[in-house]
């Protein structure tokens, strides 16, 4: 790395006034030593609806902001705009409804320098309103952290990550436009990166915070999200099946059946019952993906007010 480190921070946005809180949290955080920052805003609305907010906040920001209008309603277009227009040594992503902790970027960078990983993930802590169901708050169903498989992280997410864009595993890699409405584009992106030899690390103290709006504080929303995640996993399994499709279907069906049975056994315990039920829905989504069913749309027409 150069003596002066250039770090870009990509934010994809779609009709979210919460973007103001995201930008102000970045303005208040500690900047890593010898680093300069630039924020890239990729507005995914049909009209440049976030431009006025960005221009209003620009005088408050201690860093450069580059705004791009990237229509419309396909999150992969916006994510790719951040990749295409990043000129930094490193590129971080944070969502437009999240706020960064004061040492967020410092912790991500420390892990990147310590491990040499091509991507470093951080955790997302959900903040629930008092009106959210008690079982949801107790079980913390909306927070995000990586999944470890046999001691390594094999895929990732874009809501809290630091990338080395020039790493061989990331060079020229882009988010698939075909997944830009259904979601799962980040899972596909990081899975491909890992399969190309890229490594993924985890900075456990690089926190960002995400409020859970009322529209997402329901079992139905969580079930739709899990089902779509399962579809993505099923599609990835299909691409790498090499004749193992019947086995994958049988395995997903058996897992769905087991989790359904476990949910019934856990009826008196809402947290455990709903956790098993959502796992059953995820495995049902895997079956759907394996069978080639159309993916549920998460962005655009399916969610017209936010991403």
- Tens of pLDDT along 251-274? 999 999 999 999 999 999 999 999
Task: Dump pLDDT digits (tens) for 22-31.
Answer: 999 999 999 9
Encoding tokens for residue 38? 């630039």
- Residue 243: per-residue pLDDT: 57
Range list of β-strands (E), the chain: 5-13, 35-43, 64-69, 90-94, 99-100, 119-121, 124-128, 148-149, 152-153, 160-163, 200-202, 208-212
45/69 Cα distance (integer angstroms): 8
Task: Delineate the domains of the chain, giving CATH numbers in brackets.
Answer: 5-215 (3.90.550.10), 219-302 (no CATH)
- Written as one string, the DSSP assignment of 124-185 is EEEEE-TTS-HHHHHHT-S-B-PPEETTEE----SSEEEE-TTSTTTTT----GGGTTTS-H
Q: What is the dihedral of CA 129, 281, 275, 273, to 10 degrees?
A: 110
**For the chain, percent of residues with pLDDT exceeding 70:** 94
Question: How many C-beta neighbours within 10 Å does residue 3 have?
Answer: 5
The DSSP call for residue 132 is: S
pTM for this predicted structure: 0.91
Comparing 294 with 222, the larger pLDDT belongs to 222
Assess contact for 89 and 61: CB atoms under 8 A. no
Burial of 20 (0-12, 13-18, 19+ CB in 10 A): middle
212/218 Cα distance (integer angstroms): 10
């Amino acid at each position: 790395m150069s003596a002066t480190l250039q770090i870009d921070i990509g934010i994809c946005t779609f009709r979210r006034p919460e973007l103001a809180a995201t930008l102000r949290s970045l303005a208040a955080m500690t900047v890593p030593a010898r680093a300069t920052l630039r924020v890239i805003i990729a507005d995914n609305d049909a009209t440049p609806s976030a431009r006025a907010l960005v221009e209003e906040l620009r005088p408050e920001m201690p860093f450069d902001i580059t705004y791009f209008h990237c229509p419309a309603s396909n999150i992969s277009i916006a994510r790719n705009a951040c990749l295409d227009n990043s000129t930094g040594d490193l590129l971080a992503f944070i969502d437009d409804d999240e706020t960064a902790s004061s040492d967020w970027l410092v912790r991500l960078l420390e892990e990147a320098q310590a491990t040499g990983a091509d991507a470093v993930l951080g955790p997302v802590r959900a903040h629930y309103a008092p009106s959210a169901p008690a079982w949801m708050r107790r079980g913390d169903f909306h927070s995000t952290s990586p999944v470890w498989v046999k001691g390594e992280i094999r895929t990732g997410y874009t809501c809290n990550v630091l990338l080395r864009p020039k790493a061989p595993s990331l060079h020229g890699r882009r988010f698939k436009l075909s997944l830009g409405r259904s979601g799962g584009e980040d899972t596909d992106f990081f899975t491909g990166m890992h399969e190309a030899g890229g490594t993924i690390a985890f900075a456990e103290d690089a926190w960002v915070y995400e409020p859970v709006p009322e529209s997402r504080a329901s079992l139905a929303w969580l079930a739709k999200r899990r089902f779509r995640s399962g579809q993505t996993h099923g599609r990835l399994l299909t691409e790498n099946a090499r004749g193992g499709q019947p086995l994958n279907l049988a395995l997903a069906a058996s897992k769905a059946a087991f989790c359904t049975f476990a949910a019934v056994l856990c009826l008196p315990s809402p947290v455990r019952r709903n956790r098993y039920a959502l796992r059953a829905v995820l495995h049902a989504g895997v079956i759907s993906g394996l069978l080639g069913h159309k993916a549920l749309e998460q962005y655009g027409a399916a969610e017209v007010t936010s991403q």
